[in-house]
Structure 1
């Protein structure tokens, strides 16, 4: 059986009060539609179609992929009309699964259950809610068989008491879907073509409607405003936190953790509160991450301690290193191992050798640093001349005194010492003390300016 998947993503999302199309608002750092596309792809469909409308070109630019086909719904005339736009590109499939671009938490296992139960050719995903307000109600006969769906605005008072509701997700035999869509009419309170009307048409033809329900009702919740988006964000983050803890990671407070990408961990990893993980992050054995730290596309080797309030991105951190608090490690940086990077230190596009220390109030940019180097507080590598970047080289066991400026391109030799307060513009030889200070002068009788009273 060939499976086609249609993702409806044409809604304007007026309640989001945004210029951004609703399906491009993010959950865990990725567009809502991207989550749905990933879930759909996990079923290995033969055809995947996205029906777009409001802001469609923006959506396509953000999420286009070779396996996708895009169909425009130029006029928003309801869900039935939206699916009808996709029919021409579904001629070669046997079954059609209909999903929604603003329902990001549906799990692959729940959809697989629907596929397996829909042997009759028609499967419907429903949920039971204590408060079904806003949802279409599932109508059943005395034998419990599904007879149809009534939208809330068209429901009678008795029907409004029904707690089993429609999620909108359904699996339908392709040829029957095309035929039924041609029969529905906009004779309802909204004046739209309801996709749900095909259920009654199927029943009239004697088709049995199979029903599946997701493992958790929240899987079927959609996003209509920013409150709902925030609510689903916390659900999704808690799912990820639970999976990490089951895998052996210590989270000091799983409700204050955000994973916006992929995290791979070794043994005995510990994350304090408000850690944010973005992109692809790998943490080795015995890695500890302090509170309020951001890790973005980082590889951290075993036995490394990252203290509070650090930002580390696109970097490689070697084993037995200590970083922070208040350190910023920028893209292109590698700490070979055993490094100490302390408070208010920024490192960019540099290689820090084994056991080197950069502990206080320092900027290291475009630098090749050897092993056992000590960088004093307030040191700056002056790597930019206003037009071009230049590199600094600091060889093994060099000692750079506090408040030094190294004006690149420049080299400091092995075991060299740079006196505090120096501005180094020429290469410093190995094993020697190099100083570059102005003569100290005292101006007698000078008066500090004062404001007139």
Structure 2
């Protein structure tokens, strides 16, 4: 039995008014790249074949950002001329998904999504024989998120948006994470049936859940924790939180590889940097660019390095700032040294 063709549709057309910015939300940077790029990074590490990106607000800037990435992403651009809701956005991608058996839908403002989470969802969907699998999570404070409505057997009945929910429904803590895996034929048929009779006057993508149930199709939930992995970035506060989470993920990988980090929550190391085993990095250090840090190197507190080569067992003193500089093996750089070239 052949594996189904899977296409991904990434929603990146919105303005993001809560960011209070002239820049499109998905272009705001965290951990060294725009948040949209983090989403594409995750998608391209799964079994998904084709990729469509829905653009609208500042479309040229968004497309240029993707096309000029250090490693350009293979994707099909789809323009949503009017922002008429998430369902309408996906409907715009019907032609781009013509060869797909399954379509995964996710938002371009979820930079913390992990490829292994998406792949696990794909695997679960294939096993379940469902027509639709939706990712959910559980929040202590679910304000603003669509609530998951279930029947007595725990099956998904519908998703109700915050503005359309009753007081009883708003008390529910399981919420829609905004990631779906859907049979392609059903998806685009169902979206043609969705109306705009809601508080926003938009085509809600979430309505495909109730349509699936009305047609006696199987709807699966893929409940994921921790919730932070799947939540969107809607403000500068959440942008900072997401940046910190990605920084800590990377720092954890470095520590597990044999690098000592004192105060890892204060240390910023770009993903392209290479650090040898037994290197010791103290609090407040920043390492950016394509830096190469050798084995057994000591970096004191407050050191800033950009595009530097640091030889094995070298020592860089506290609060030194080095840019485009080579530190020889075993060399000792005094504190407060500045080398900018």
Give yes or no for TM over 0.5.
yes
TM-score (norm 1): 0.71
Q: Pick one of 86, 109, 115 that aligns with 2:122.
A: 115
Superimposed CA distance per residue, residues 51-96 of structure 1 (whole angstroms, 9 cap, x where no aligned partner): 1111111111111236111111111111001111111111011111
Q: Pick one of 272, 295, 304 that aligns with 2:282.
A: 272
For the aligned residues, what is the CA RMSD?
1.5
**Structure with higher RCO (Cα < 8 A, 6+ apart):** 2
Q: Which SS does the other structure have where 2:194 is aligned?
A: coil
1:235-314 equivalences under 5 Å are 235-314=245-324
Q: Structure 1 pair 115/44, CA: closer, same or farther in 2 (3 Å)? A: closer
For residues 73 and 216 of structure 2, the distance between their equivalents in structure 1, rounded to whole angstroms, comes to 39
For residues 19 and 73 of structure 2, the distance between their equivalents in structure 1, rounded to whole angstroms, comes to 29
Structure with higher Rg: it is 1
Query: What is the deviation of 1:43?
Result: 1.0
Q: What does residue 374 of structure 1 align with?
A: none
Q: Pick one of 28, 32, 40 that aligns with 1:29.
A: 32
Q: What does residue 104 of structure 2 align with?
A: 97
Equivalent pair of 1:110/1:215 in contact (CA under 8 Å): no
Equivalent pair of 2:274/2:293 in contact (CA under 8 Å): yes
Query: What is the deviation of 1:314?
Result: 3.6
Long gaps (5+) in structure 1: 331-347, 349-453
Query: What is the deviation of 1:18?
Result: 1.5
Q: What does residue 405 of structure 1 align with?
A: none
Equivalent pair of 2:319/2:336 in contact (CA under 8 Å): yes
What number of residue pairs does the alignment pair up?
331
Equivalent pair of 2:47/2:119 in contact (CA under 8 Å): no
For residues 149 and 132 of structure 2, the distance between their equivalents in structure 1, rounded to whole angstroms, comes to 16
Equivalent pair of 2:196/2:203 in contact (CA under 8 Å): yes
Equivalent pair of 1:296/1:313 in contact (CA under 8 Å): yes
For residues 177 and 316 of structure 1, the distance between their equivalents in structure 2, rounded to whole angstroms, comes to 56
1:214-253 equivalences under 5 Å are 214-253=224-263
Q: Which SS does the other structure have where 2:89 is aligned?
A: helix
1:80 aligns with 2:87: yes
For residues 254 and 263 of structure 1, the distance between their equivalents in structure 2, rounded to whole angstroms, comes to 16
Query: What is the deviation of 1:44?
Result: 4.3
Equivalent pair of 1:52/1:72 in contact (CA under 8 Å): yes
Equivalent pair of 1:30/1:260 in contact (CA under 8 Å): no
Equivalent pair of 1:261/1:277 in contact (CA under 8 Å): no
Q: Which SS does the other structure have where 1:63 is aligned?
A: helix
Q: Which SS does the other structure have where 1:139 is aligned?
A: strand
Q: Structure 1 pair 183/215, CA: closer, same or farther in 2 (3 Å)? A: same
Superimposed CA distance per residue, residues 210-229 of structure 1 (whole angstroms, 9 cap, x where no aligned partner): 22133421011111110111
1:50 aligns with 2:53: yes
1:56-205 equivalences under 5 Å are 56-64=59-67, 65=72, 67-119=74-126, 120-205=130-215
TM-score (norm 2): 0.93
Equivalent pair of 2:125/2:181 in contact (CA under 8 Å): yes
4+ long deviations beyond 6 Å: none
Q: Which SS does the other structure have where 2:57 is aligned?
A: coil
Q: Which SS does the other structure have where 2:82 is aligned?
A: coil
Counting strand residues as a fraction of each chain, which structure ranks higher? 1
Q: Pick one of 321, 327, 333 that aligns with 1:323.
A: 333
Long gaps (5+) in structure 2: none
For residues 16 and 24 of structure 1, the distance between their equivalents in structure 2, rounded to whole angstroms, comes to 11
Equivalent pair of 1:309/1:324 in contact (CA under 8 Å): no
Equivalent pair of 2:259/2:278 in contact (CA under 8 Å): yes
For residues 321 and 89 of structure 2, the distance between their equivalents in structure 1, rounded to whole angstroms, comes to 44
Q: Which SS does the other structure have where 2:106 is aligned?
A: strand
Q: Which SS does the other structure have where 1:231 is aligned?
A: helix
Superimposed CA distance per residue, residues 324-379 of structure 1 (whole angstroms, 9 cap, x where no aligned partner): 4233344xxxxxxxxxxxxxxxxx3xxxxxxxxxxxxxxxxxxxxxxxxxxxxxxx
For residues 59 and 204 of structure 2, the distance between their equivalents in structure 1, rounded to whole angstroms, comes to 22
